[in-house]
Amino acid sequence: MKIGLVLSGGGARGIAHLGVIKALEELGLRFYAVSGTSAGSVAGAFYCAGYKPEEILQIILSMGFIKSVRPAWSWTGLLSMDGFREVLLKHIPHNSFEKLQLPLTVAATEIRLGKVIYFSEGELAPAVIASSSIPALFNPVQLNGHVLVDGGLMDNLPVRPLVGKSDFIIGSHCNPVEQRFDIKNVKEVAERSLLIAINVNTAHSKTHCNFVFEAPELGKFSTFDLDKGKEIFDIGYKNAVKKLSELESALNQYERTNQPQF
């Protein structure tokens, strides 16, 4: 059975994907292909390059937010991801989709055209950085004639590249919207507004997944809570472990339903 894995965006909350992957590996699952947006593209890039979930966690924790960004000195964004680019190239020096151990698709938003662009070949680092570039905060990335920003704006759970190519698609969504919200400052209002808007396109994507992991506890973390990465990882792992029996039932049901008829 060809199992596809799709990883949502979500900033620091995306570290939960690593916990989910750890639980799925312990179940013995292996993936045919991976697709990701923003934080999901980061997790996907390292995983498809051959790193284990705990190794990726350590890379992200040692990098931190401050080390990964620099002043942009540009009217199109406050910060650049030059530091993050250096981390990607250090740990994935071949910088190539084609040289990854698993096929990976990365989603980014073409800001001029208002459409999603999927990358699965060519240079890896620019596509991952483009997919992670929150508008106004980070500089847009120019790649292959496109002007690109965060893929979550158009496709925060990029299941589309896996439909028709994978038999069974597992989604990991790390952006639950908490039902309670206390207005504290303009930053939190802006972040929650973006989260709500992004979840509109995510709801449709979930319907194309055969199974979705989503830990409600992740709603208490912000996009930039990288210092809480270990806690986020553990939440993703523990939530996934609790649902492994449900996943096994879904996999078994799929196999029974799709057995060839003689």
- For residues 230-247, average pLDDT: 97
**Which tokens hold the place of 126?**
């620019």
d(CA 181, CA 31): 37
Confidence at residue 67, expressed as pLDDT on a 0 to 100 scale = 47
Task: Looking at 73-228, list the stretches that DSSP marks H as alpha helix, in order from N- to C-terminal side.
Answer: 82-91, 124-131, 186-206
Confidence at residue 65, expressed as pLDDT on a 0 to 100 scale = 45
> What are the tens digits of pLDDT across the range 46-91?
999 999 999 999 998 887 544 444 444 443 444 557 778 888 999 9
Q: What is the mean pLDDT of the chain?
A: 87
- For residues 185-206, average pLDDT: 68
> What are the tens digits of pLDDT across the range 124-149?
999 999 999 888 777 889 999 999 99
Strand partners, 105: 35
Residue 184's alpha-carbon distances to 188, 189, 228, in angstroms, are 7, 8, 20
Q: For residue 60, give every residue at least 6 positions away whose Cβ sits within 8 Å of its Cβ, in sequence order, or none.
A: 15, 42, 226, 229
d(CA 220, CA 239): 15
| pLDDT bracket for residue 224 (50, 70, 90) | confident
CB atoms near residue 199 (< 10 Å): 18
d(CA 238, CA 47): 19
Q: What is the value of pTM for the model shown? A: 0.89
> What are the tens digits of pLDDT across the range 4-39?
999 999 889 999 999 999 999 999 999 999 999 999
- For residues 206-232, average pLDDT: 91
Confidence at residue 137, expressed as pLDDT on a 0 to 100 scale = 76
